[in-house]
Structure 1
């Protein structure tokens, strides 16, 4: 471990990062690279690439997990905690405030305003889907699996369809894996972490604890049948969703929408309002859980519910990271794991596409709505900041609707 980085220093670096990390996981990873590799030179480019590669093949929010892995690299378990706390704290505090204020002032937005917010959320998810499709799917069978995933979700039971899809797609990826055909030209083999690893960075004691962390990861799933009250079920759904998410924070939305909106715990408009605000926040998109925990609520008070929700959605990342990081050299050498991930990535794109289709059916009422969604997606492609694009598009379309009605 590096003696030049104290716990406070780790917390301070990630707190500053959490205040300026706009733009989603891809921009977060670039920012981490600039700070830890280029500017401060705490990590070599190879070490950083290895940490990123491992965090991409385990479920959870990639950028948050990379931050935890960096903290763990320098100061072990507590280092990972302080890194996560600093990076998540700004957005969590903001989302709690939005949830509390939203309950008092949401009526001021009106039905027309909520409709525009839902269209903006649809555009954001559509843009996320397009980005993920281009980066995660590189083979014909993956595109076919995307389409089959949408078809599967239209017939599968809501309660088990998404989980079953993830598992089946992982198996399909393994079955289609060809060690002779899948060479260094593979998408996953382009990452330097899939090649030679020069030195381990984790101690023997942490390696011996890996099995315990993996056991702790599975405990909530074993207890699920005995969770009956809405609060405990809600927390379990957050934990379950985070345990199955591959590909970034946007992928958690279909799981949370199913568990919170379709089950009646929260209204669709209130859910979409919080998700729209989450796009404007710096730091991890998983901070949306704080909004859900305070809005439902999932605790005795909105604040307690928010803290419990944030804990539930990030806890799987800690368990999985602590279980796998000591073995990352072996883990990254298992190409069947990478092959399974290729199938899961296609299913993830299918999940988002199915949700886009359902949201479009419910929220696009006229041709101008469709043009607005497409226009927002095009603008999101530009380098303009998201915190400017989304509010700007809201007020412009609201003004246009009112102008046409007068």
Structure 2
């Protein structure tokens, strides 16, 4: 593995600062979603800086896509760990995440003042952006994660479940059912072929004891927070975002239905604010999960504003980072088990159905009100999928047309 590893004489503080500055630049320039983010990472850390080679990077990406959570943020965190230890992992996460957080908080602060036809047009245009972006996510994920009849059937079964179940645990039930169906139907599918495991795993400063501790912390928070959630509203808010982050399989857009259930269904955030924020998140560089900061700020009652944003941001990112720490020492054993690959294939297919159901409600039902809305959303969808136009351009297109529709209507 040809890498440009730091000199032993280089202080850990200087390496952590180096990681922070590199990821800070990526955090303000990485537009285009998680797949694009991974492309930026490869050019920066494999081709330019040689912090790891192509084989190691590819397998690290495979690990992070295997786990629930934001794959690009998890990959960046692991690269920071590799370069500068624990301080480097934290520096990588802060540099890549905080620019997007602050931009989303700025939008949250000015959103209530967006009154009049122009403000209403901006908000409506952002909601139409959400239609186009979620439709693109469903389209791309269906082609990638449901390439055969069995996985397509699992996705349709998930849609059917979510259409008839009214329980608060409907999404969790659909994901669990996907795992079971994957175990039954996908063992003979050509899914999850094992590749080379992470080269030189000892380069990551995560021992097996640390991995077990991270997994223990993940489980305690996932199952323990609901038991004490009634103690305080702040605990309930942290729990809602933590559970949303812990259940995101298959891509960042899957967090949309989870967060909608956690914040809109409970009455914490207004439906219009939710979709406007999600649309705005498409125009912001960095991870899509920073949408949580916007929601934390917009909470109808305390904790909101700065405290709500802090709880939401830490809550939604923490489970994915804990799982990376838990998995790094054990990745070889995990990937070698056919049952694990089959179950994951079923889960990934189920989340396609989960996102398809969210495309209808709340995204479509809240945004598309007229034939003009339908036309704008369709054009946005084709700009993204066929012409590969940058999401920032599509945001501008939909917002301008939304303003025009508001002024003329």
More deviation, 150-159/108-117: 108-117
Aligned to 2:373: 369
Matched residue SS, 1:280: coil
Pick the aligned partner of 1:166 from 175, 191, 201: 175
Aligned to 2:150: 141
Pairs within 5 Å for 1:32-51 = 32-51=41-60
Equivalent-residue separation in structure 1 for 2:343 and 2:126 (angstroms): 36
Superposed CA RMSD in Å reads 2.2
Deviations 1:287-317 (A, max 9, x none): 1111111111675561122122111111102
Deviations 1:247-273 (A, max 9, x none): 221100101111111111111111111
Equivalent-residue separation in structure 2 for 1:38 and 1:205 (angstroms): 25
Equivalent-residue separation in structure 2 for 1:374 and 1:203 (angstroms): 45
Equivalent pair of 1:2/1:75 in contact (CA under 8 Å): no
Taking a change above 3 Å as real, the CA distance of residues 98 and 85 of structure 1, as seen in their structure-2 partners, is: same
Structure 2: give runs of 5+ residues left out of the alignment: 8-13
Structure 1 residue 255 and structure 2 residue 255: aligned? Answer: no
Structure 1 residue 226 and structure 2 residue 231: aligned? Answer: no
Pairs within 5 Å for 1:237-256 = 237-256=240-259
Equivalent-residue separation in structure 2 for 1:204 and 1:87 (angstroms): 21
Pick the aligned partner of 1:391 from 380, 396, 399: 396
Aligned to 1:347: 350
Equivalent pair of 2:128/2:398 in contact (CA under 8 Å): no
Equivalent-residue separation in structure 2 for 1:279 and 1:375 (angstroms): 16
Aligned to 2:10: none
Structure 1 residue 122 and structure 2 residue 131: aligned? Answer: yes
Aligned to 1:316: 319
More deviation, 293-302/63-72: 293-302
Deviations 1:306-364 (A, max 9, x none): 12211111110221111111222222222322211111111111011111122334443
Structure 1 residue 19 and structure 2 residue 20: aligned? Answer: no
Equivalent-residue separation in structure 1 for 2:203 and 2:339 (angstroms): 24
Equivalent-residue separation in structure 2 for 1:113 and 1:146 (angstroms): 34
Structure 1 residue 379 and structure 2 residue 379: aligned? Answer: no
Structure 1 residue 59 and structure 2 residue 68: aligned? Answer: yes
Matched residue SS, 1:383: coil
Structure 1 residue 87 and structure 2 residue 96: aligned? Answer: yes
**CA apart distance, 1:222:** 1.6
Matched residue SS, 1:236: helix
The normalised TM-score by structure 2 is 0.91
The normalised TM-score by structure 1 is 0.91
Deviations 1:184-219 (A, max 9, x none): xx3432xxx623655333468621222111111011
Aligned to 1:28: 37
Equivalent-residue separation in structure 2 for 1:9 and 1:249 (angstroms): 27
Structure 1 residue 210 and structure 2 residue 219: aligned? Answer: no
Matched residue SS, 1:209: helix
Aligned to 2:195: 194
Taking a change above 3 Å as real, the CA distance of residues 282 and 198 of structure 1, as seen in their structure-2 partners, is: closer
